[in-house]
Amino acid sequence: MSEELATVLYLSGELSKPVLLEGNPGVGKTSAAATLAKSMDTKLVRLQCYEGLDVNNAIYEWNYQKQLLHIKLNEKGEQQARIEKEIFGREYLLERPLLQSISHEEGPVVLLIDEIDRADEEFEAFLLEILSEYQISIPELGTITAKHIPRVILTSNRTRELSDALKRRCLYHWLDYPDQSAEELIINKSIPGIDQALTKKMVSMIRSIRGLRLQKTPGIAESIDWARTLVLLGQHDISKETLKKTLGVILKSQEDFAFVVDEWLEKEG
């Protein structure tokens, strides 16, 4: 993790402000949150955003079936008021990620709100409210306030511009592809015992492939996959043939494939 990102994460803890991570797909935005959770030795609660994400799926929902069952079982009894009170208790509540992260008892959790740009603008506005108050009100239960303010990380792939209000609530960090040595380090960590020379060579290759005009630029996950493939095949060096054979691991489109094989490989020799 770069020093800058570390500083931003540190600051977010000090100021209890969410972090907004932006960057190209595959630069490790999501794993930054996972790493933070691991280093804090706490739970990672993840909310994956998508078009049409609503309150039911993000915050809470009543366990409707269980409530019905409870009513059915107590049909003979006359204490209606008691039953009504019971079925709107905590055990009939299905906690979705946002509520989970707030109601967690033991210490703060890391809340990852992934790809916030995919959610509707309405949801974004709603999120704003939660991120500033860290409390959720449920009409039947009352307001639940966070015991420990969760560490919030939002990621965005920039498919749309986020609202200024949301951006203002967050610390901003643009995450770029790691540099040569950082990526080597990542690969060495993910695949212990890999040949150092091989790592060096493949990282520099993948970095120059990233510089090409491709439709889908390979991310860090691709380079780890590639390293794994090369180790599996028992390669110690990357020849032209090997590259051609294993290119499918890093490139996911026919045009990119053709482009790299025809133009780049010819030129590079």
Q: Which residues bind other proteins (CB under 8 A)?
A: 3-4, 7-8, 11, 14-15, 17, 19, 22, 51-52, 54, 64-65, 68, 72, 120-121, 157-162, 164, 167-168, 170-174, 213, 215
Q: What does residue 54 show for φ and ψ, rounded to 5 degrees?
A: -125, 180
Q: Give least dist CB 4 to other proteins, A.
A: 5
Q: Which C-beta is closer to other proteins: that of 39 or that of 174?
A: 174
Q: Which C-beta is closer to other proteins: that of 17 or that of 201?
A: 17
Q: Give least dist CB 198 to other proteins, A.
A: 31
Q: Which C-beta is closer to other proteins: that of 35 or that of 235?
A: 35
Q: Give least dist CB 22 to other proteins, A.
A: 6
Q: Which C-beta is closer to other proteins: that of 47 or that of 175?
A: 175
Task: Classify residue 139 as exposed, middle or buried by CB count within 10 Å of its CB (0-12, 13-18, 19+).
Answer: exposed
Q: What does residue 157 show for φ and ψ, rounded to 5 degrees?
A: -100, 10
Q: Which C-beta is closer to other proteins: that of 168 or that of 267?
A: 168
Alpha helices of 91-179 — where are they, by DSSP H? 97-103, 121-133, 164-169
Residue 173 in contact with residue 23, Cβ under 8 Å?
no
- 3 state SS of 162: coil
Q: Give least dist CB 176 to other proteins, A.
A: 10
Q: Give least dist CB 60 to other proteins, A.
A: 16
What is the distance between the alpha carbons of residues 203 and 183, in angstroms, rounded to a whole number? 7
Token duo for residue 249: 């691991």
Q: Which C-beta is closer to other proteins: that of 213 or that of 267?
A: 213
Token duo for residue 154: 């939002």
What is the distance between the alpha carbons of residues 137 and 129, in angstroms, rounded to a whole number? 11
- Residue closest to 111 by CA, chosen among 17, 178, 24: 17
Q: Give least dist CB 147 to other proteins, A.
A: 22
Which residue's structure tokens are 């695949």?
191
